[in-house]
Structure 1
Amino acid sequence: MPDIVKVLLIFIFILFLLSRKIYIGYALIFSSLLFLVFYSIDFYKLPSVIFNGLTSKVSLNLFLSLTLIKSFEYALKQTGLMSKMTEVSQVIFTNKKISIISMPLIIGMLPSLGGAYLSAPMVESSTKNTNMTADEKAFVNYWYRHPWELILPLYPGIVLASAISGVSLRDLIIYNLPVAIIFFIFGFLISMRNVKNENIQANKNILKNIYSFIPICFVLFPVVIFKIDLYLSLFLNILFLCLWFKVNMKKLFEIIRYGFTLDVVFLVVGVIIFEEMLKFSGAVDAVASEITHLGIEPIYVFIFLPLFVGLITGVSIGFVGSTFPLLLHLKETFPYEISLAFVAGYTGVMISPLHLCLILTRNYFKADMKGIYRKIIPATFVMLFSALIEFAILRYYS
């Protein structure tokens, strides 16, 4: 059996498990067992290979980063900063159009599961006395929660992509930034063209709480500007918040402990084991050889494989964790190629009918799915097209 077929069957099994609502971490662990069926594995060396992978610096950094992201979000809620951010965003933007998109944009900075339901009532409130349809409101709520996932290291997808690929988080953010800007601008053009522009009077008393945005900035800037590891930036900011708000040691321990959950443990374990099995079995080298022999340009695999898996899974960690280990061994990769693969996968996630934010948003606004897709599909493919243009320019000049 050709190795491409073997690996394809393993991917189909992953997608089957995900379709049965099996968590991505467990799905990757179970799917790794198929390598034992399809390949001759040296069972004496396998335990040490997996142990070395799980205890590597990359694995530990990834685990600490994903854990402290949850702890940081919990700290913002416990200290009341999250609610203050929401209050400020409601009055700081005096332009009507900016005010409408500000709610999902601000709340979307934190990767809360089901956060679309939190911003939806605010979008509904800010669009009163406008002629926006339910489909347009749903698009605003859905679209503007998601530009951050391309560039904000509070989202696990980009952290996972950096950890697996070896591309620094800073570089990946920089390469994704032009796409995120296009994401924002094109979505604005689509959603705000029928909204009348008007100014809103700001409540000056609320603006004193603008300091609530500082922790987000303090997490992002050290990572992007000084290349500090994300987990260290998160930990220092959690400590700073607890000191500033005079949180006692018991509460501090609760905040840190909040992030240490089994889903994070099994996500990291699943990703690492799957990656190690791909390499140790010889599957990646064999698939790379077959793709080269067939004359398939690896760049097409970089685009369509993540896009397809993103479409099927509806989550970024799904396409990153399952496809990036294979992509990295098809050829020598450049950071802009990893960025393109990430954007392609994210395109699939954004149009996936399994995307939880899309499901929640559609239900809240009682919107027509076809009407939402008429806006989502062209917007997402403009995003992908902009990534392809960036890729072409960077490859030409590299």
Structure 2
Amino acid sequence: MITVSEWIVLLGMVLSFALVVLLIRKRVNFGISLLLGSVLLSFFSLAAVSIDSVFFAFLKATIYDVNAGVFVWDTVELAVLMTLIFMLASLMQDTGAIAQLIDSLRLLFNKGGTIAVIPAIYGLMPVPGGALFSAPAVEEEGESFNLSISEKNFFNVWFRHIWFPIYPISSSILIMADLASLNMYLLIAVNSVAFFVMILIGYVLLAWKTDMLHRHNRKERDRLNQSKRNKSKRDLSGLLFLIPPLLPLAFSVLEYVGIPLFTAFSIGVFASIVLLYLMAKVPWFRYKKFIKEAATWKLIAVIAGIMIFREIFEVSGVNLSIYSLLEQLPFTPLVVIIIFPLILGLLTGYLLSGITLSYVLLEPLFFSVDLCTVGLVSILFMSGFVGYLISPIHLCNVLSSEYLKTDTTRMYPLYIPASVVVLIVQLAFVVLFIR
């Protein structure tokens, strides 16, 4: 039975989430919106936890874990990394590196294929907020097809995340397989249906948006593209500008000598900024000006807001309240296994926490469902993934939207139906064939 305090916390969760969505629709800075949402959720959380717990959660999310008595640098490191990534993305745009890269890619992929290829390439880079790397290229190439800002945003984040269901070095796949004592490649094989469906949906929507909408000026666009091809004389040197955004991957090996992964990536991104200066051959005084223009406080506020919101979410026990509510409703165990990870992924905007919390709470229900373990784990994983994918506090959505000067909710007319189709197809596949 849900207690009064749990109902109050649930109400606070709904109101705080609604406040965040409302504020970002009103163009309020996302970080500030999340901070205000966190304050509102904290107020309602006092019905279940002490004010000390809430205050300690704020401290832990920013810099200090009172219970452990240690400084926690995760938020600071993530803020530094995201700021550096944003600077690199902006610098690649300002120096003309993106334009040269796209010109070379057009020789290999026509009819807007670069809009899919670039985010997919950067999607192999397991770094939070990596959609920032591809946003400048998608923005520029999208202009060739008069795509709206929301459409550019959708294609950028969609194609970046096509690998998530099957990526063997993803922490989410690794930990999920370990928790369930499954062979990782068996889980990947089952999830591969979702992977191919995401590619198919992305391809169909991209073909629609780049052809149907501009049939009236297609000849002119083809003429311009042909002119660029002739001018380039098959010059693929622009592909070298793939190196700066991918260079941080090489620095990830520093983790094996004791350097934290975020720190290693930050060093790598800083090295990429230096390398880009050498490659772009831009005068230093101009490059320095570009750096100053790219530096922004907004991402620091965004990261702080996300981390505080997650910590308050956890300390309030709202995840347990949601589970208690679902237990009281007339749902079958399978429906609970579908809905709960979806909600957690949506509310946290963080795939790993959404699916691990879900597994811990839902694993006892597995015995009540006539499906094999790998099928149930796949359902749980994909439900959490879809919730995370469309979450307005998902870091990739936030940073891509920030760069493109829009917000996540404006791409929902494409985003939500596409994501729901992926989940439905995966569910149907598991229920029909994985028993």
Same fold (TM over 0.5): yes
Pair 1:24-2:30 in alignment: yes
Deviations 1:322-346 (A, max 9, x none): x987776455288985564233443
Which residue does 2:141 correspond to in 1? 119
Deviations 1:195-238 (A, max 9, x none): 99x99777434323332223333345666998954434322322
Which residue does 2:385 correspond to in 1? 342
Inter-CA distance 32–304: structure 2 relative to 1 (3 Å threshold): closer
> 8 Å contact 1:7–1:283 — kept in the other structure?
yes
Which residue does 1:314 correspond to in 2? none
Rounded to whole Å, the distance in 2 between the matches of 1:223 and 1:71 is 20
> 8 Å contact 1:32–1:274 — kept in the other structure?
yes
Inter-CA distance 72–336: structure 2 relative to 1 (3 Å threshold): farther
AA matched with 1:105: A
Of residues 239, 243, 246 in structure 2, which corresponds to 1:210?
239
> 8 Å contact 1:340–1:388 — kept in the other structure?
no
For the residue of structure 1 that corresponds to 2:50, the secondary structure is coil
> 8 Å contact 1:114–1:356 — kept in the other structure?
no
Q: How many matched pairs?
A: 340
> 8 Å contact 2:99–2:137 — kept in the other structure?
no
For the residue of structure 2 that corresponds to 1:123, the secondary structure is coil
Which residue does 2:303 correspond to in 1? 268
> 8 Å contact 1:304–1:344 — kept in the other structure?
yes
C-alpha deviation, 1:122, in angstroms: 1.6
Deviations 1:117-153 (A, max 9, x none): 63344236xxxxxxxxx9xx99986764443331699
Equivalent runs, 1:41-56 vs 2, <5 Å: 41-44=49-52, 46-55=54-63, 56=72
Which residue does 1:281 correspond to in 2? 316
Which is worse superposed, 226-235 or 267-276?
A: 226-235
C-alpha deviation, 1:70, in angstroms: 0.4
Which residue does 2:46 correspond to in 1? 39
Rounded to whole Å, the distance in 1 between the matches of 2:235 and 2:389 is 36
Equivalent runs, 1:1-398 vs 2, <5 Å: 1=4, 2=7, 3-34=9-40, 35-40=42-47, 41-44=49-52, 46-55=54-63, 56-93=72-109, 99-105=110-116, 111=132, 118-123=140-145, 144-150=155-161, 179=194, 181-189=196-204, 192=207, 203-220=232-249, 229=262, 230-245=265-280, 260-292=295-327, 294=329, 297-303=336-342, 306=345, 320=349, 329-332=357-360, 337=380, 340-346=383-389, 379-385=418-424, 388=427
For the residue of structure 2 that corresponds to 1:234, the secondary structure is helix
TM-score when normalising by structure 1: 0.62
Inter-CA distance 181–250: structure 2 relative to 1 (3 Å threshold): farther
Rounded to whole Å, the distance in 2 between the matches of 1:61 and 1:105 is 30
C-alpha deviation, 1:79, in angstroms: 3.6
Rounded to whole Å, the distance in 2 between the matches of 1:32 and 1:391 is 37
AA matched with 1:11: F
Identity, in percent, stands at 17
For the residue of structure 2 that corresponds to 1:100, the secondary structure is coil
Rounded to whole Å, the distance in 1 between the matches of 2:149 and 2:11 is 40
Which residue does 1:364 correspond to in 2? none
AA matched with 1:30: L
Rounded to whole Å, the distance in 1 between the matches of 2:427 and 2:55 is 41
Inter-CA distance 81–114: structure 2 relative to 1 (3 Å threshold): closer
Runs (5+) with no aligned partner, structure 2 = 64-71, 123-130, 165-169, 177-183, 213-217, 362-376
Runs (5+) with no aligned partner, structure 1 = 94-98, 125-133, 154-160, 310-318, 362-368
Which residue does 1:127 correspond to in 2? none
> 8 Å contact 2:53–2:315 — kept in the other structure?
no
Inter-CA distance 218–324: structure 2 relative to 1 (3 Å threshold): closer
Inter-CA distance 162–74: structure 2 relative to 1 (3 Å threshold): farther
Rounded to whole Å, the distance in 2 between the matches of 1:57 and 1:10 is 26
TM-score when normalising by structure 2: 0.58
Which is worse superposed, 33-42 or 103-112?
A: 103-112
For the residue of structure 2 that corresponds to 1:182, the secondary structure is helix
> 8 Å contact 1:116–1:145 — kept in the other structure?
yes
For the residue of structure 1 that corresponds to 2:349, the secondary structure is helix
Rounded to whole Å, the distance in 2 between the matches of 1:214 and 1:265 is 26
> 8 Å contact 1:302–1:340 — kept in the other structure?
yes
> 8 Å contact 1:343–1:387 — kept in the other structure?
no
Q: CA RMSD in A?
A: 5.3
